[in-house]
């Protein structure tokens, strides 16, 4: 790497780190004010699933909710948890059957849920776990957030999972959210 390339890399990294630092301070301000109560509940639950499913874990739509031991996947470069710039419905950087666990609290942001589940099934190892926190269509007002393309019920989630070669392990409705765990079906080779 030439001196100019190193300088450009340093400048780009510094700007990114400054933006992330500002985002981190904003995140901490909100967390201290109690604005993240729901998000923190989701994080704790997702962390408990990860603890039970160690290995290579993808955090899809990581946003400002990085979780230790996961690879943060997002299409927004201005978020705290970004490790890999990619969309959750295109994990072409992952080989087939290479991921132990996928977690997300932003499933509703994808316009084609079936494509997402198909891609997750492709990269998950047989027996690999999916943990999803998503809005419950039975209780959520879809006009509250324009970034959410979909709302799900426990039945629709189950159908998407089954169609993609996965099976639901558990589902719990808490407030406006569904907490879902599933696994990839099949026989290990």
Tell me: the pLDDT tens digits for 100-112?
A: 999 999 888 888 8
For range 115-128, the mean pLDDT: 96
pLDDT mean across residues, the chain:
80
β-bridge partners, 170: 181
Separation between Cα atoms, residue 18 and residue 67, nearest integer Å: 20
Separation between Cα atoms, residue 11 and residue 18, nearest integer Å: 10
Separation between Cα atoms, residue 35 and residue 27, nearest integer Å: 9
* Residue 9 host element (H or E): helix 3-33
Lowest mean pLDDT among 33-37, 52-56, 77-81, 83-87: 33-37
3-state class of 11 per DSSP?
A: helix
- pLDDT tens-digit readout, 50-77: 999 989 999 999 888 889 999 999 999 8
Task: Give the model's pLDDT for residue 188.
Answer: 63
Separation between Cα atoms, residue 147 and residue 174, nearest integer Å: 21
Sole residue written with tokens 């201005």: 78
3-state class of 174 per DSSP?
A: strand
Q: Which comes out higher in pLDDT, residue 80 or 165?
A: 165
Report which DSSP code applies to 109.
G
- pLDDT tens-digit readout, 140-173: 565 655 555 677 888 999 999 999 999 999 999 8
User: What is the pTM assigned to this prediction?
Assistant: 0.76
């Amino acid at each position: 790497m030439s001196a100019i390339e190193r300088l450009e890399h340093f400048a780009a990294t510094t700007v990114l780190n400054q933006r992330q630092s500002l985002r981190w301070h904003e995140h901490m301000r909100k967390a201290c004010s109690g604005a993240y109560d729901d998000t923190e509940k989701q994080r704790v639950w997702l962390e408990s699933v990860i603890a039970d499913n160690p290995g290579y874990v993808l955090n899809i739509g990581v946003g400002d909710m990085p979780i230790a031991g996961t690879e943060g996947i997002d299409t927004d470069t201005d978020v705290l948890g970004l490790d890999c710039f990619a969309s959750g419905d295109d994990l072409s950087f992952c080989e087939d059957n290479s991921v132990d666990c996928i977690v997300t609290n932003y499933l509703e942001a994808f316009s084609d849920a079936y494509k997402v589940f198909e891609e997750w099934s492709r990269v998950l190892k047989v027996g690999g776990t999916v943990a999803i926190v998503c809005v419950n269509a039975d209780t959520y007002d879809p006009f509250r957030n324009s970034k959410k393309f979909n709302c799900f019920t426990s039945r629709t989630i189950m159908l998407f999972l089954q169609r993609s070669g996965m099976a639901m392990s558990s589902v719990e409705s808490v407030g406006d959210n569904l907490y879902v765990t599933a696994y990839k079906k099949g026989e290990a080779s």
